[in-house]
Structure 1
Amino acid sequence: MQSIQSVSTGKRPIVVTILGARPQFIKAAPVSKALAAADIDEVMIHTGQHFDDNMSELFFRELDIRKPKYNLEINGLSHGAMTGRMLEEIEKILVEEKPDLVVVYGDTNSTLAGGLAASKLHIPIAHVEAGLRSFNRAMPEEINRIVVDHISTLLFCPTATAVDHLNSENIHVGVMHVGDVMMDTTLAAIERASATSDILARFDLQSKHYAVATLHRAENTNDAARFQELINWLDDQPVDKILMPVHPRTRQRLSELKSPARKLVLVEPLGYIDMAWLVHNASAVFTDSGGLQKEAYFHGVPCVTLRDETEWVETIDAGWNRLWNGPEYKSRRSISDYGTGEASSQIAAAIKEFIIRREKTS
């Protein structure tokens, strides 16, 4: 690829990436590699929004990325307080680093804070996973998505539907359908996991003879009646064993149940490679995680979403996903929208082209 340097400083261009949760690091991993291949320096900020003991040296080695240069350790606060603290600290870093562009992912408070900080400093923003909509504005994530999309310069959409959502909100410039970066990560993880993971042997599992579940969203865990209903639903599924990696909050909710779970096998949160191999060999996935819904499809495993709506409508239309309280699966087909594992290289190329064009006109 053509090497680029900043016209004004003679240095390689700098991109600041702002992340706040484990799934965002997983999405960022292939993009970080693609940026490096494009001769773009990346500075990574971890806001600390989701504190995760499993984000250790092993986690970063599994993803083959460097640990963040900055870790703000901001967590455990209300949405407003958390976003405000992040905004203040990110702004300081952006003033010091002077990046050519800021990259944010998805829909967390870290995404919103990073986007707002960059916008107020007139730094261009690239939003990966732009254009997603659940149309449920009671979800903080929905507000975060909408705000960040409307202040972003480059909007990288995983699906054609996401592009349509942006167009309907009169956002047309800088919008690109690149496919899903999680496809890139998953394909690499399957190859690595098949050679290295012993997760099935550790839990005495046979391929396709168990299911995987995750349950963590506040809308499910904070409502005791709803949480019990979901656990009862899981117990009614036609599988003998459901492996559930759990965080402390969900484990506490499970201990408070009037009717305890019968089929759930609770385990500590897993490393990315082990989790990928666990899903790859499962007969089904039951989850309220947006990312895991798609990953189930990438692994060719049917999914049931433990929510009342999903942003990933393609998975439902293609028969790989359904809502736990909705209709049965539709006829199954492949989903071309997500691409073939080249989303990250398209994102890096578009960022490189944008920086070159901007430098020439500055």
Structure 2
Amino acid sequence: MSAPESVVVVAGTRPEFVKLAPVVAALDRTDRFETILVHSGQHYDDLLSERLRESVSLPRPDEHLGVGSGSHAAQTGELVAGIGDLLSKHEPTYTIAQGDTNTVLAAAIAASKCPTTFCHVEAGLRSGDREMPEETNRVLADHVEGFSFAPTEQAAENLRREGVTEDVYVTGNTVVDACRKNIAEARAGSDVLDRFGLAEGEYIAATIHRPRNVDDATRLRQIVSALEDAPLPVIFPAHPRTEKQLSRVGSSSEGSLRVVDPLEYLDFLRLLDGATAVVTDSGGVQEEASLLSVPCLTVRPNTERPKTVEAGVNVLVEPEMLDEKLRTVVYDPDRREAMTGARDLYGDGRAGERIARLLAYRLGEESPDLDAHGIDDLLETAAE
């Protein structure tokens, strides 16, 4: 057998670690690839990086750029330079990144300047909102020549409309792989409900972090007010940046809202799993909520996960209507039941395996058997 091909996998935020873990595991199960894991350092809090990495069974990063915080422009520029240097050093056949962060955009730009093929996991998601920096990042990353691994046919159609028609594969979303792998361990091993004195199905989970919500004092105050007045206890693991903004708008210690430190991944998964509902502005949490049959209220005017809205398990809500919508979910069992039951929106939990096998196939390996989703189906590009 020939020497293994090197693959650089770039991650830098909590969702990227979670969603790339199944890809790295699948690559490592073959003899075809040597994986080089790069941590950009975009999330630098320990709970959001090192301990998270351990909980999802990722190996220790081979390279660490330590970019930290900064303006979008400064952070992206530093990452482009740093990732570019590493690509020159390792000369990978493939460079893989996932999602829509500055880390992903920088990896795409750096890869486009080097003799490597860029692979975008979770390609084709669109909210249509160019005010979101994430939307700009994902659009630009998708237009770098390489492989686009779309989570759904809807995402592949978005790429078709933009003229991206070559090497587009509908693989499912690796969030399904990660959630299915980790939920049993979270249920068995996490004591998060006991630590917070919570009973199954008798609390609300919340996570708000996007600049549209946390940097706008009026929106944030409305969100906090709705959570404080919620009819059930609300557990809100706050991103460090969000916690800083929360302190500026103030929060009553007598209401339902309880702001806590960021949770380890398995603890958060267990918290979400046992909740009556979740209030969020996170794309990944929208997906995980659908997988775990937890009604989701997304405090945004749009979403790049429209399948959750179309399936009825996710409702987009503006801050001034959050209190009303939350009470409806809590007090109306029929409504709550209607917001569950769409567990298969993003695939069957084998996206990481498909990605690894597709990359091996493109290097000339014999077509692998992928059960109901054979290699021939995956090799039908979005140009069809």
Fold in common (TM above 0.5): yes
Residue by residue over 1:201-239, the C-alpha shift from the partner in whole angstroms, topping out at 9 and shown as x without a partner, is 1111100000100111111111111111111232344x3
Distance 1:81 1:56, change over 3 A: closer
Going from structure 1 to structure 2, the CA distance change for 1:251 and 1:258 (only over 3 Å counts) comes to closer
Q: 1:123 to 1:82 in 2, by over 3 A?
A: same
Give the structure 2 partner of residue 14 of structure 1: 6
* Aligned amino acid, residue 347 of structure 2: G
2:198 matched to which residue of 1?
Answer: 205
Question: Residue 207 of structure 2 contacts residue 279 of structure 2 at CA under 8 Å; is this kept in 1?
Answer: yes
Residue 356 of structure 1: SS of its match in structure 2? coil
Match of residue 29 from structure 1: 21
CA 1:146–1:181 in 2, change beyond 3 Å: closer, same or farther? same
What is the alpha-carbon distance in structure 1 between the residues aligned to residue 344 and residue 293 of structure 2? 14
* Superposed counterparts of 1:1-362, under 5 Å: 5=2, 11-39=3-31, 40-55=33-48, 57-237=50-230, 239-257=231-249, 260=252, 262-325=255-318, 332=339, 334=342, 336-356=344-364
Structure 2: which amino acid aligns with 1:117?
A
Report the AA paired with residue 353 of structure 2: S
Secondary structure in 1 matching 2:244: helix
How far apart are the structure 2 equivalents of 1:126 and 1:57? 24
The alpha-carbon distance between structure 1 residues 64 and 123, as it changes in their structure 2 partners (threshold 3 A), is same
The equivalent residue for 2:377 is none
Out of 57-66 and 31-40, give the one that drifted further.
57-66
1:293 positional shift: 0.9
Deviations 1:43-70 (A, max 9, x none): 0111111222214654333111112111
**Is the contact made by 2:43 and 2:49 (CA closer than 8 Å) also made in structure 1?**
no
Give me the whole-angstrom Cα distance separating, in 2, the residues matched to 1:186 and 1:350: 22
Contact 1:244 1:265 in 2 (8 A): yes
| 1:144/1:349 CA distance change after superposition, 3 Å | same
Q: Decide whether the 8 Å contact of 1:115 with 1:152 is kept in 2.
A: no
Q: Distance in 2 between matches of 1:83 and 1:56?
A: 19
> Is the contact made by 1:314 and 1:335 (CA closer than 8 Å) also made in structure 2?
no
Q: Rate the CA distance shift 1:258–1:198 in 2: closer, same or farther, 3 A.
A: closer
The DSSP-based 3-state class of the residue aligned with 1:42 is strand
The one-letter code matched in structure 2 to 1:349 is R
For residues 293-348 of structure 1, what are the alpha-carbon distances to aligned partners after superposition, in whole Å with 9 as ceiling and x for unaligned? 11111111010001111110000111110012389779555364411111111111
- In structure 2, relative to structure 1, the CA distance for the partners of 1:297 and 1:139 (3 Å cut) is same
1:57 & 1:256 partners in 2: Cα distance?
29
Give the CA deviation at 1:27: 0.5
SS at 1:151's partner residue? coil
Q: What are the superposed Cα offsets for residues 8-43 of structure 1, whole Å, 9 maximum, x if unpaired? A: xxx211100111111100001111110111221110
Task: State how far apart, in whole Å, the 2-side matches of 1:57 and 1:89 are.
Answer: 20
Structure 2: gaps of 5 or more residues: 326-334, 366-384
| Contact 1:245–1:267 (Cα < 8 Å) also in 2 | yes
8 Å contact kept, 1:127–1:152: no
C-alpha distance in 1 between matches for 2:361 and 2:54: 30
Q: Unpaired segments of 5 or more residues in structure 1?
A: 6-10, 358-362
State the shift of 1:355 in Å: 2.6
TM-score between both structures, scaled by the size of structure 1: 0.91
2:17/2:52 contact within 8 Å kept: no
Q: SS of the residue aligned with 1:204?
A: coil
AA at the equivalent of 1:320: V
Rounded to whole Å, the distance in 1 between the matches of 2:356 and 2:251 is: 50
SS in structure 1 at match of 2:249? coil
Alignment deviations for residues 154-184 of structure 1 (CA, whole Å, 9 cap, x no partner): 1111111101100101111111111110011
Read off the aligned partner of 2:103 and give its amino acid letter. Answer: S
Aligned residues: 348
The percent identity for this pair of structures is 38
- Which amino acid in the other structure matches residue 27 of structure 1? K
C-alpha change, 1:56 and 1:334, in structure 2 (3 Å) is closer
How far residue 240 of structure 1 moved from its aligned partner, in angstroms, is: 1.8
Deviations 1:256-297 (A, max 9, x none): 225647211111111111111111111101011111111111
* Matched residue type, 1:347: I
User: One-letter code of the match for 1:248?
Assistant: P
Task: Give the counterpart letter for 1:255 in structure 2.
Answer: S
Find the counterpart in structure 2 of residue 8 from structure 1. none
C-alpha distance in structure 2 between counterparts of 1:122 and 1:116, whole Å? 12
Task: Label 1:56 to 1:177 Cα distance change in 2 as closer, same or farther (>3 A).
Answer: closer
Q: What code does the residue aligned with 1:216 have?
A: H
SS at structure 1 position matched to 2:142 = helix
Contact 2:38 2:62 (C-alpha < 8 Å) held by counterparts: yes
| Counterpart amino acid of residue 43 in structure 1 | I
